[in-house]
Chain A
Amino acid sequence: MEALEVLRERLCARFSGIEVALIPNASPSGQSSLLLSGSGLREVAYFLRDDPALRLDQCSNVTGVDWPEREVVDTVKETQPGAPGEAPTIVERKIKRTEPGCLEVVYHLYSIALRQGPLVLRLRTGNRTDAVTVPSFTPVWRSCEFQEREVFDLFGVVFEGHPDLRRILMWDAFKDHPMRKDYVEPDDYEWEPTPHGDVLAKARKHYPVPMAPGATDDPATAGKISE
């Protein structure tokens, strides 16, 4: 299969409204990916499927990834002119900034006809709250149908153009998105006298919990049965 840089050039030359970035992969697997953004991405997908040199006819895997926002510390070197007669000094400043989070959808594409692959595509949403729409590739590859539904269900990414976008693993009335990093489990579990102190702590918030024999309110032995 052609190199990712060559493919990137071809895509940028052919489609005007898109941006393609090459995300290198530092691990020994060497599977670097292309980050697609812009408009008209479904045409890019049709091209990848039908182009005679690529013929990526199988979308093997659709993955959702949650990148929460994180604090990044940038070190900036500034050159300050010194006093007359002295050399200029280099001063380092550390600037803290918050890199915004996003949700990402990763597609692994293979070609059964030409026995090549994988091509790893990435689509990113604007943020994790309101701009969570990406185009759906289900009209291009049928295998995306259930997998995109799963990404919608577990991450909350809305796929525009999906024929039947509803929850697949959780029940329809479920409210949250379980695979997000900031997902908080519902703590209506029944209390069991196991040594897991966090189960006891969660249950105590809801109802009075009978004390196990020999247990105290000491947080170090909370929930422990044997002494």
Chain B
Amino acid sequence: MLGKGLLQGLAVTAKNLVGSFHDPARYTTQEYPEVKPTLPEAYRNFPFLVSESAEDPMGTLRCVACQICEKECPPQCIFIVMERDEKGKAMKRPKVFDIDTSVCMSCQICVEVCPFDAIKMDQVFEIATTDRFNALLLNREQLAKPNTYFQQIHPTEAAEVDARLAAERAAAEEKAKAAAAVKAAAIKAPPAPPPAKPSA
């Protein structure tokens, strides 16, 4: 019959139209911003720096300013300056840690290459601003967030990181205790007799 394809197509659109009133699979519109989207745990958008405690974020940053993330970042949006004391010695803390979020493409390579679990991916996307240049360059105060926040947004990843860091700390403590015990035992024991001199 001529027009059979057209009628079949109209039946499909009618099914979708009627179905959209009662079947959630047919009507998939989420009315944002009244309905917030449920983001999966792995969702990533812009990095942040992890600090151990919320009370002293700048003092407990895990970052040691090794600058590996700065080198590996493909669009080069990270700028780090190491903090040095009066004698010029490196203090293993970043004095400046800027991320230019107008350049950052959230590729997550900085997170992958960081050896200290100091930088992780955030999930913020409602950060629009009217100041085009200054407000998009985030400094370390704006980037530092506590580990509790990290546990909230990425629970499984945070659990794994915490377990690994705790295990490393425990292993380091064990090693330090064993080294101290060996040193203490060497002091307590009587000195070994001097080796016999070979006869001339």
Which residues of chain A have a CB within 8 Å of any CB of chain B? 192-196, 224-227
Contacts and interface: CB of A to CB of B under 8 A. Distances in A.
Contact of B96 (A192, A194, A226): A226
B95 to A, nearest CB: 9
Interface in B94-144: 96, 98, 100, 102-103, 133-134, 137, 139
9 closest A-B pairs by CB:
A226-B139, A195-B79, A193-B133, A194-B100, A226-B98, A225-B137, A195-B98, A192-B133, A225-B134
A215 B133 CA distance: 15
A172 B139 CA distance: 43
Contacts of B133: 192-194, 225
A18 to B, nearest CB: 43
Contacts of B137: 194-195, 225-226
Contacts of A224: 79, 96, 98
A227 B96 contact: yes
* Dominant secondary structure at the B interface: mixed
Contacts of A226: 96, 98, 137, 139
A194 B135 CA distance: 11
A214 B76 CA distance: 23
B139 A195 contact: no
Interface string B79-93: 100000000000000
25 contacts: A192-B133, A193-B133, A193-B134, A194-B100, A194-B102, A194-B103, A194-B133, A194-B137, A195-B79, A195-B98, A195-B100, A195-B137, A196-B76, A224-B79, A224-B96, A224-B98, A225-B98, A225-B133, A225-B134, A225-B137, A226-B96, A226-B98, A226-B137, A226-B139, A227-B96
A225 B102 CA distance: 14
A194 B76 CA distance: 12
A188 to B, nearest CB: 19
A130 B103 CA distance: 40
Contacts of B100: 194-195
B81 to A, nearest CB: 9
B130 to A, nearest CB: 16
Nearest to B138: A226
A224 B100 CA distance: 11
A209 to B, nearest CB: 13
Nearest to B103: A194
Contacts of B139: 226
Contacts of A195: 79, 98, 100, 137
Contacts of A227: 96
Nearest to A226: B139
A227 B103 CA distance: 20
Given A194-B137, A224-B79, A227-B96, 17 more contacts: A193-B133, A193-B134, A194-B100, A194-B102, A194-B103, A194-B133, A195-B100, A196-B76, A224-B96, A224-B98, A225-B98, A225-B133, A225-B137, A226-B96, A226-B98, A226-B137, A226-B139
Contacts of A192: 133
Nearest to B141: A226
Contacts of B76: 196
B126 to A, nearest CB: 23
A6 to B, nearest CB: 44
Interface in B136-177: 137, 139
B69 to A, nearest CB: 15
